[in-house]
Structure 1
């Protein structure tokens, strides 16, 4: 009890962000002082349920000593299955409630809102049925008969002692009138869980022999030094001038100036009465990421946030963001030598070279140290100067349930959405986000299913007072309003948010905080303006080949974006026959992880901003054929764009890769015929009365979304139509495509109506399915968290199955790809590039009679590949798993080979082919995975 309570006090004093402490202190009459007392006391009593016969009977020799002292109890076998009705957390909740009610005059409702913290300290608050079942079996709490009085006396003595030692006895009468909001109950539960986990660690709190006693203070001090948990980040007030702030935090090109949307975001972050939700809408390439980090720093200083969570749509975008986050952190002013905990949060983070290097350099064993050892530890009073922070990937803060507790996190949006999913240890996720500023990138990229979770998470973030920054280049106005209403906790029919939805202009910065009127500002556009001419192009491959042959006479770089991988591969094959293998590059999602990373790096080197170091822009004609992986987070620039029809917001994202940078005066460094930006729209049969998108595009996006896109693009696609003006037309086109009242082109009515019916049915189905495990909104203040996650999804994690809980995607198989050579040896794929530290990854031996070398095992793990949709059908998936499991290497399952243990291995032959579940699989470095019927 003392160990846990002492840890809670240290967490409060040194680790919990001010933003979290303020939320807990808010409803308490004694403010922060009361809050600390409450945290320490609840942590101290959290295991009182172990002082019951149902728990104490488990170790015979210890139970016998208790029986000798008058605490009679049945044996474990005599209790039978009834013991399961009394887990010690629930038993502790009932004992604490009883003590508060009978000895201190609390009502049942008053005691429940505090005691439920004890009941839920193992990750799940109890349900009403569980409470009733234990009430019906009082013998599990105290043995009937003469011993009952002894049990009661011991339990009361322990609780009385905690009230005295932890200084709450005089506060209990005052707290009796407090109504704890549910967010406060969640945070209290989380702090108790964290304290319990630390105090239960035998490395930090070993059982000392009786002959070498130590005081409680010495014991805790030794453990705290051994843990060496990085202290909370205490942000300093940021510069008011945007130019000064950006110059200090970012590596800006010579002569760069702060853009109007960045300046407006910084100014509003300082000026709004209370930090809340800020939505930044601006064109691609306008520096929204830098604006978000600047706003996050300002908001953190104003609210006492202890970190930043940057949520991105995919692992690839998370990987791209992580080094940018590190660069920003290295420029933050902190007291010299302050360690800041940093994390890359997705399932393959350990394969990221930047994060792996951070883990290597900050490796530290977590062990208790000798109490007499003088171990220096950073303290705020130690240093008064500012200096670069020490960035660490702290070992204790890694793992599925603790990861987000790191101060600074870049990861997939799934990590944020899990905060809206009923699951075990959900309180820890809420503690993690409640102490940060949350940045949500590419907000337009989330469908109805994901939005159901995102909106509920925003409600809780608003209740916690967490500042949130939302970024998008193409956000529909209705979605902007939904995000604002959710964060403000105002309900779907709330009044006063009309200005948020009706706001016109672009760029746009919108600020919302609970209880305050929204603020909308329309910054001026930057000097980056241009025109893009759209043109319809027939869908045949021969049409495309002929057209590009004419376009590339004088050279040039073309991006062709297809909506399915199969269309990418078919297109690349046809283009190679005409232009040669060296002139065509393929990029899509069916490459193994390390190849995919090298593809992205190669695209940036060849097609990135002018002056970027690397291979350089191709001199002759070059065509990149890509799937949607080229839509976002790649700063690449092409002379001509060919795109399959897609929803207009995504088409505009693709257009953002066209003439992205200035190449010479008037684009003079581009081929003469490509100095005017043009996008050829294909993937459509244009011949009928209603243009018809190809089947693959309909399967991905739905017929209705494609018709809406066509309808708003029609004036730009018609012969003699007008160009799309950037950035002015971005918001105009997006709002028109997603407006509730649509203009239906003449002759399209029948097809439009049929597509709309299917669209609405699909959206309703998504919302219904997402709602099954979605967390409820915060209940009224004083209502205990009983049943908070009942009927939930179990554990939530960033595995394939875990992500499927918050994404409307079919379950897929993920495999590690290796090769069996003609001589029978297993090796990693031979062409794999060296990692970020120059270590070889390709062609390494993978012996089956022992664990592979760490380098080979890691290289194999970096060859993860998600199998395509053909393997998602249950019968195909089951057959594939069965066949894959036939290759099982016992030596690879050892604990000292974590990279390969439990993985499904896809073994390719010497020609990089294999058969699986009736399909032929071929893999190549240039084209990735191709799947055909066997």
Structure 2
């Protein structure tokens, strides 16, 4: 039997050209964990409920190092032959080594068992074996003996060789390197959240210690190997932004180029606690307030990283540039690059990457592997949260609390960061439930979070800030703008300007031609018109009608009329986002134009429209959309008065929608199914068509979303509405319960975590969407070839095959799809 190996290098013919001995790889990963621990000491101690001792650290390092000891089994070692029939892994077999009646009496099993007993590390060892991204069934409690019994044979002595004996040199090498771990002492911290956090760190250490550039398979293996590997591990952790670093001195003006508003300065207050909330009108500078809080928390040593979570990809793309500019202002030439945490974009700082075979990435400032360490976290979606600074979508954070692969890694990476959640509102009980579970764990491991909202309804405030539910009158009396912690709320001065808005209603929600004619008429009078619809189909119908009637006024990319929604390929989304910013951003020129889109336009984007036309939606969503209206000071001619036209059904009575599936372009359908909220919203804007932002925000939101206000609507509307309200209440309750059922409860023992509801969990977050590669590529509508596109799971069905002839249509299984200037749709 040759030397026990951990990793191999092969030539093009599959011949082994070099091996990395198991002992060396084990020590590489131990060195990586030693380099990483300083960056996570604060969250580990918060989770443990006590300071970590030097022996605690040594034991965590040793356990992480032993992650691959199962590779000594005969089945895994046989994989050196590329023609090996059976592919045996290395985690489940460890359970067989420790539990099988003929193996557990052996010297290797006894050595491991004694170590785990002395350290109190049975749960921690199960966490180590989960280093590939999820717990191993063989280490679950209660144990399923059938899972590991099948691996027993790969440890049994055969032909004079005992594979279990090959484990002993591995343990001896780790003991020799970190002898303090084996000295007598108190057990490791037993808190389940501590164990879960450790599990995520082991995955990071394994990835770091498996980097063949830093730890080459070819060696060296000489006597200086310990020094070489520890220097390499420290350098890699430093280059990837995985060790604490100081924030350069500087004030708010140095970071953002202007003096702060009062609430922006106060957002950095030290007494807000671990979860804070900023409520202020759209466009008031909440983003800068959030970034300033992060900078100040870094200076105080409370956090290191930042994850800025937004509701849409478009919002993340736009904010990414702003955050990266801020980093350059604060750090100068040594600034960390902000990672764009949106799958498919490959953006780090100013650099754009191109995916290559075998998971390699070429960055636009060099060949494949350019700045590999600094941009490591940007190259795969499951690494995003390991970036020191990342801007992405909320689903990337919520995946840290769902039973999906690498959830514990995501949660562990997030633990060192300030989590900022932008555009929080109350429309989705499922998402609110997941966010609540995420915040619970994040705070328990010492994390900090900041929630941003134009106005958060009382129910959502109570849930997320863990406060008592207020009555309607109490909720309306809460100050606005406001800065809140879990213990108190304080009034703060806002941006210092108010916006008067006239709201009209029109019964045209089911008439795209009438909507287009309204928009075109206003554009011909010089207005920049924004049309926001509740569904892609409704938006496309209006955009096509605008292009047919006034092509010169239609929003376009280059010479191609189009619209903005989420069903475009990543490369085209970049073009669309840039075109939106050019045509409707702060520096837009004069002249009429019409931009049509969906919810991708309503949140976080810096859009400045003269006139807003929008489908009816819950009041908190409407206020987000109204925030795109008259966002900046400019000359507006005939549109000096801010006007919003809210589209409703032709008949004012919404009762027919109670029994109509799908409603009108999402109205009453799956987008905003709570008709009681829509009726309450319609009543509020009809009763007070002239509003002042931000003065009226709190009154409007509570008047249309507070349970007391909704109950009043139901009482007025009769039995059919009472039935609908009961069904919706049950649905909201069910959504909240579903979130509680599928979300990971990391207060449970690691070996008891339930990983069975993964499919249900990820479907709600688009996790089952199909990302397909196109070869040959599709001809993109805006001049770029489309090599990759995401197909929503409901559109893809169970398809796995793609066929196309290079035209704009392609077949996905038995479904024919088209991708053109109006986005992806069924043909």
TM value normalised by structure 1: 0.71
Contact 2:503–2:643 (CA under 8 A) maintained in structure 1: yes
How many angstroms apart in 2 are the aligned matches of 1:931 and 1:60?
49
Give the distance between the partners of 1:83 and 1:524, measured in 2 at CA.
60
Distance across 2 between alignment mates of 1:771 and 1:120: 23
- SS of 1:776's partner is coil
Aligned to 1:376: none
> Which residue among 489, 493, 504 is the counterpart of 2:478?
504
Indicate the residue corresponding to 2:225 in structure 1. Answer: 216
Shift in alpha-carbon separation, 1:18–1:209, aligned structure 2, 3 A: closer
Question: Which residue of the other structure, out of 558, 563, 568, is the alignment partner of 1:587?
Answer: 563
The answer on 1:752 being equivalent to 2:704 is no
Q: 1:422 aligns with which of 398, 403, 406?
A: 403
Contact 1:921 1:931 in 2 (8 A): yes
Q: Does residue 1:604 correspond to 2:581, yes or no?
A: yes
Q: 1:722 to 1:432 in 2, by over 3 A?
A: same
2:622 pairs, out of 651, 655, 659, with 651
Residues 32 and 648 (structure 1), Cα distance of their counterparts in 2 relative to 1, 3 Å cut: same
- Measure the CA separation in 1 of the matches of 2:727 and 2:319: 37
- The equivalent residue for 1:623 is 594
Question: Residue 582 of structure 1: CA displacement?
Answer: 0.9
Query: Per-residue displacement from partner, 1:510-547 (whole Å, max 9, x unpaired)?
Result: 123xxxxx132111233220221222223156765676
Q: Conserved in 2, the CA contact under 8 Å of 1:22 and 1:32? A: no
Deviation at 1:434, TM superposition (A): 1.3
3-state SS in 1 of match to 2:294: helix
Aligned with 1:347: secondary structure? coil
* 1:249-260 map, 5 Å: 249-252=255-258, 257-260=259-262
Q: Deviations over 1:776-807 (max 9, x none)?
A: 2413xxx4x2133542538xxxxxxx9x7162
Equivalence for 2:807: 907
Cα distance in 1 between the residues matched to 2:159 and 2:372: 60
- Give the Å deviation of 1:276: 0.7
Q: 2:435 aligns to what?
A: 454
Find the counterpart in structure 2 of residue 695 from structure 1: 664
Of the three residues 762, 765, 770, the one matched with 1:805 is: 762
| Distance verdict in 2 for CA 1:472–1:114, change over 3 Å | same
Partner of 1:671: 637
- For residues 294 and 432 of structure 1, what CA distance do their matches in structure 2 show? 21
Which ranges in structure 1 are unaligned for 5 or more consecutive residues? 64-75, 368-389, 486-493, 513-517, 664-668, 795-801, 820-825, 833-840, 842-858, 888-904
- Relative to structure 1, the CA distance from residue 96 to residue 475 in structure 2 (aligned partners, 3 Å threshold; closer, same or farther) is farther
Which of 459, 468, 483 aligns to 2:464? It is: 483
Say yes or no: does 1:788 pair with 2:759: no
Show the counterpart of 1:828: 779
Given that 2:280 and 2:286 are in contact with CA atoms closer than 8 Å, whether structure 1 keeps it comes out as yes
Structure 2: distance between partners of 1:919 and 1:142: 49
Please name the residue that 1:167 is paired with.
179
**Cα offset for 1:692?**
6.0
Contact kept? 2:240, 2:374, Cα under 8 Å: no
Distance in 2 (CA, whole Å) between partners of 1:739 and 1:455 is: 19
Structure 2 Cα separation of the partners of residues 631 and 61 of structure 1: 53
Question: CA separation in 2, counterparts of 1:681 and 1:238?
Answer: 48
Aligned residue in 2 for 1:374? none
The structure with the largest alpha-carbon Rg is 1
Distance 2:666 2:151 in 1: 63
Q: How does 1:15-26 map to 2 (within 5 A)?
A: 15-16=36-37, 18-21=39-42, 23-24=44-45
Task: Give the whole-Å Cα distance in 2 for the aligned partners of 1:23 and 1:310.
Answer: 22
Partner of 1:404, secondary structure, is helix
1:565 aligns with 2:553: no
In the other structure, the counterpart of 2:342 is 346
Q: 1:577–1:343: structure 2 CA closer, same or farther, 3 Å change rule?
A: closer
Q: Equivalent residue for 2:693?
A: 726
Alignment partner of 1:41 is 2:62: yes
Quote the offset at 1:928 in angstroms.
4.5
> Distance in 1 between the 2:68 and 2:144 partners?
17
Q: State the secondary structure of the residue aligned to 1:732.
A: helix
1:262 maps onto 2:264 in alignment: yes
Which whole-Å deviations, capped at 9, do the CAs of 1:434-484 have from their partners, x for residues lacking one?
A: 122111112227722223322221111011111111111132121122112
Q: What aligned pairs does 1:847-886 form with structure 2 within 5 A after superposition?
A: 859-861=785-787, 864=789, 866=791, 871=795, 874=797, 878=799, 885-886=802-803
Greater mean deviation of Cα atoms: 396-405 or 136-145: 136-145
Q: Using the alignment, how far apart are the partners of 1:916 and 1:117 within structure 2?
A: 39
Q: Secondary structure at the match of 2:665?
A: helix
* Superposed CA offset, 1:882-931 (max 9, x none): 6xx343xxxxxxxxxxxxxxxxx8722xxxx7898999877654x45675
Shift of 1:7: 4.3
Aligned to 2:357: none
1:274-353 alignment, distance < 5 Å? 275-333=273-331, 340=336, 342-350=338-346
1:164-243 aligned within 5 A: 165-168=177-180, 171=183, 173-176=184-187, 178-206=188-216, 213-220=222-229, 223-224=232-233, 227=236, 229-232=239-242, 234-236=244-246
2:397 aligns to what SS in structure 1? helix
More deviation, 729-738/356-365 = 356-365
Q: Does 1:531 align with 2:500?
A: yes
Structure 2 residue matching 1:559: 3-state secondary structure: strand
Check the 8 A contact 2:97/2:152 in 1, yes or no: no
**Is residue 613–residue 644 contact of structure 2 (8 Å, CA) maintained in 1?**
yes
> 1:681 aligned to 2:646?
yes
> 2:729 & 2:228 partners in 1: Cα distance?
62
Distance 1:394 1:688 in 2: 55
Distance 1:219 1:169 in 2: 22
The answer to whether residue 453 in structure 2 is matched with residue 444 in structure 1 is no
Task: List per-residue Cα deviations over 1:188-215 (Å, max 9, x = no partner).
Answer: 23333333344445554445589x8343
CA contact (8 A) 2:95 2:148 kept: no
* Aligned 8 A contact 1:588 1:628 in 2: no
Unaligned runs of 5+ in 2: 1-21, 355-361, 556-561
Instruction: Tell me by how many angstroms 1:186 deviates.
Output: 2.2
- Residue 508 of structure 1 contacts residue 521 of structure 1 at CA under 8 Å; is this kept in 2? yes
Superposed CA deviations along residues 226-278 of structure 1, whole A, max 9, x for unmatched, are 85743445454687xxxx732111144xxxx4223212212x2x344xx5111
Q: State the distance in 1 between where 2:158 and 2:512 align.
A: 88
Measure how far apart 1:308 and its partner are: 0.9
Q: Relative to structure 1, is the Cα distance of residues 686 and 311 closer, same or farther in structure 2, using a 3 angstrom cutoff?
A: same
Deviation for aligned residue 1:292: 0.8
- The 10-residue stretch of structure 1 (299-308 or 538-547) with the greater mean CA deviation from structure 2: 538-547
Give me the whole-angstrom Cα distance separating, in 2, the residues matched to 1:424 and 1:185: 17
Q: Distance in 2 between matches of 1:867 and 1:85?
A: 34
Cα deviation for residue 46 of structure 1 reads 3.4
* Aligned residues of 1:296 and 1:469 also touching (Cα < 8 A): no
* Alpha-carbon contact 1:47-1:88 (below 8 Å) kept: no
Matches within 5 A, 1:539-578: 539=508, 540=511, 544=515, 554-575=525-546
Q: In 2, are the aligned partners of 1:344 and 1:355 still within 8 Å (CA)?
A: no
Give the alignment partner of residue 248 of structure 1, picking from 254, 257, 267: 254
CA RMSD of aligned residues (A): 4.6
Alignment partner, residue 735 of structure 1: 702
Deviations 1:351-372 (A, max 9, x none): 79944169626768779xxxxx
